[in-house]
Structure 1
Amino acid sequence: MEKLISNNNQVQIRSLPEKYIFPPEKRPGKLPVSACKFVPVIDLEETAGDNRAVISQKILKASQEFGFFQVVNHGVPEDLMKDTMRMFKEFFELPAEDKAIFYTEDARSKKHCKLYPSSLIYATEDVHLWRDNLKHDCHPLEKCILDWPVKPTRYRQVVGSYAAEVTKLVPRILELICEGLGLESGYFEGKLGEVTSLSVNHYPPCPDPSLALGLSKHCDPNLITILLQDDVCGLQIFKDNEWIGVDPVPNAFVVNIGYQLQIMSNNKLKSVEHRAVTNSRTARTSAAFFFNPSDDIMIAPAKALINASNPPVFRACQYIEFLRNYMTRNGSDIDDALEHFKLRA
């Protein structure tokens, strides 16, 4: 438990411990970086009218160019979003003894709610991330919720309601992506997004943000990710050979294309590298809701997107095969994560 940096919130750490200092080539360097004002913010309220096709194309374009976009007027109540973020922040502020029941350094733990220092591979990683990470299994929700925190008092009620609302939002976004790609309605329904999980990252103030990372560069291996972030900047995406910050937009979700959508779209959509940086003044909290295919689902380019002039880029594989290949890299060789599944001309 002493490895949780949130437990040291009341202690002024004047210098960054050596185990958190990244090698020069991986450090974020001088901060802040330029803000990404042009990541599209898409109003989902307009999908109910004649502009639906326009919105679908905006999502498609953003997914091709950035691999990210933000959505507003998405139907998840604003008060629920704020209450959920409040629950997460209050959890990390709890006394150590209240968090101890969830603490583990075992990536194979079967618990439906787990609290990790840094990452799943704390014992073997060369450098630690400047974060604490709370992971929830969310499917089936009525079973998993029984293992979630009971403190703060309303945690299960609020976060459970939030999980249910976001689970309803994702099919709407996936259907718009279907329409933009020209796929049949409901192509992504069923087991493609059945397995859901929630990863809550808490980044306390860091003594030297130029030397540490809250989250190393990576692409998400899943289908699609819905991110709730507070009003503190920290998310960055890699575009045009530079890191650019994604400014928080009030009451918005950040939507992130995962590797599985890149494969199924036959490389039309892009899963883009991203990371989280820290700051020396204010704690930051974010919550990523992951939508994953079932392990045994076959992932392959959609047949409707393949023809003589657009041959398949990737071979078919079970999601579990892809995930195992991804996890063995432990965050390294990101550029090669898809290479194992590419077809050669």
Structure 2
Amino acid sequence: MNTVPLNLQRASVRDTGLEFDTEGGLPQALRDGCFLLAAPTGFDPGPGIRLCREFYRAPEEGPEESHPYRGFQELDGIYFDRENFQTEHVLIDGPGRLRHFPHEVIAMADQMGDLTLLVLRCTMAELGIDAAVWDKATCGAVNGRGTHWFAANHYRSERAQLGCAPHKDTGFVTVLYIEDPGLEASVDDAWVSINPVPGYFVVNFGGAFELLTAALSRPVRAILHRVRQCIPTPGVADRFSFAAFANPPATGDLYQVRPDGTAAAVRSSADFLREFNRETWSDRHTEFGIAQSTGSSRGEAS
């Protein structure tokens, strides 16, 4: 592992767009595959942190006020035990959040989801993709359709395993909240740390976005990343993270924008996801991100 952490571009939300701290920040972020985004004023990560600390516990382990944050291990297709890694997590779409999350977690997840769409729109504009094809090229994700996942992750430090598998995210844009070291990106065949910066999210570009832009002169890079093994420390809580994702629907096709500006279907979304699951996790969850998806978006009942 490279001991020098990755120096990422930094951006903030300004009106309806992104403002980078340095000139050429967004083009550099496209080459890096990720960047740092300042959390909006008033953003409260507390509900997400609490969910990460409690979702894997049984309801009877805590007081009644903790019950809405617990018991997710019983929810098939929402809770996942990654048997070959330290991570266990909840992966849940918009309608699922309405059914299972406390209202304050729903509100926080929606704030993060709004940021994924802002990044998606700003990036397509930067690449010169005609706004008239955005909806088709993203299978509606840019307009709030597609599948807008939220994930809460707990890293079981007692397991002598890698924290999380090396992988590229499958969708268009990920907005990730972390507080502890452990996240690493692959740079020139070496693992380089991405250190948490207080007040900032880590934004990743995903495989669907990489595919969408592959034929353009400036394609998006989907960053290969992992979480290294988390070592238990007496008196220190386990590592956690949570993230919002803007993804295409789990069924249907993925699109690519051609140099002439048109968008064409290039492969099945479900096949893309199954291939990812087999190569990344090597476990029983081959339908991860497919079978449990309703295809609905931000929480509207489907």
Q: Which residue of 1 aligns with 2:106?
A: 160
Match of residue 147 from structure 1: 100
Q: How does 1:147-296 map to 2 (within 5 A)?
A: 147-148=100-101, 156-185=102-131, 187-189=133-135, 191-192=140-141, 194-206=146-158, 212-229=161-178, 231-266=179-214, 268-277=219-228, 278-281=230-233, 282=236, 283-296=238-251
Distance 1:82 1:285 in 2: 12
**1:205 deviation in Å?**
3.5
Assess, with a 3 A threshold, how the Cα gap between structure 1 residues 53 and 67 changes in structure 2: closer, same or farther: closer
Q: Does 1:62 align with 2:29?
A: yes
On the 8 A contact 2:58/2:71 being kept in 1, the answer is no
Query: Is the 2:5–2:192 Cα contact (8 Å) retained in structure 1?
Result: yes
Q: CA deviation at 1:89?
A: 2.1
| Paired residues of 2:177 and 2:201 also in contact (CA < 8 A) | yes
Distance, in Å, in 2 between the alignment partners of 1:276 and 1:239 is: 14
> CA distance change for structure 1 residues 322 and 304 in 2, over 3 Å: closer, same or farther?
same
CA shift for structure 1 position 186 = 6.4
- The separation in 2 between residues aligned to 1:84 and 1:291, in whole angstroms, is 18
Q: Is the 8 A contact 1:222 1:293 kept in 2?
A: yes
Shift of 1:116: 2.8
Identical aligned residues as a percent: 19
Q: TM-score, normalised by structure 2?
A: 0.74
Name the CA distance, whole Å, in 1 between partners of 2:231 and 2:72. 27
Aligned residues, how many?
A: 263
Is the contact made by 1:81 and 1:251 (CA closer than 8 Å) also made in structure 2?
no
Unaligned regions of 5+ residues in structure 2, if any? 62-66, 283-302
Secondary structure (helix, strand or coil) at the match of 2:223 reads coil
- Could you state the TM-score of these two structures normalised by the residue count of structure 1? 0.65
Alpha-carbon distance in 2 for matches of 1:116, 1:273: 21
Q: Deviations over 1:25-45 (max 9, x none)?
A: xxxxxxx85242412222333
Aligned partner of residue 322 in structure 1, secondary structure: helix
Greater Rg by CA:
1
**Unaligned stretches of 5+ residues in structure 1:** 1-31, 123-127, 149-155, 333-345
Amino acid of the structure 2 residue aligned with 1:41: R
1:233 to partner: Cα distance: 0.5
Q: Give the Cα separation in 2 of the matches to 1:171 and 1:100.
A: 29
- Of 52, 56, 65, the residue aligned with 1:88 is 52
**1:43 alignment partner AA:** S
Whether contact under 8 Å (2:10, 2:21) holds in the other structure is: no
Name the SS of the counterpart of 2:242 in structure 1.
strand
Q: Is 1:265–1:302's contact at 8 Å kept on the other side of the alignment?
A: yes
Q: Hey, what does 1:36 align to over in structure 2?
A: 5
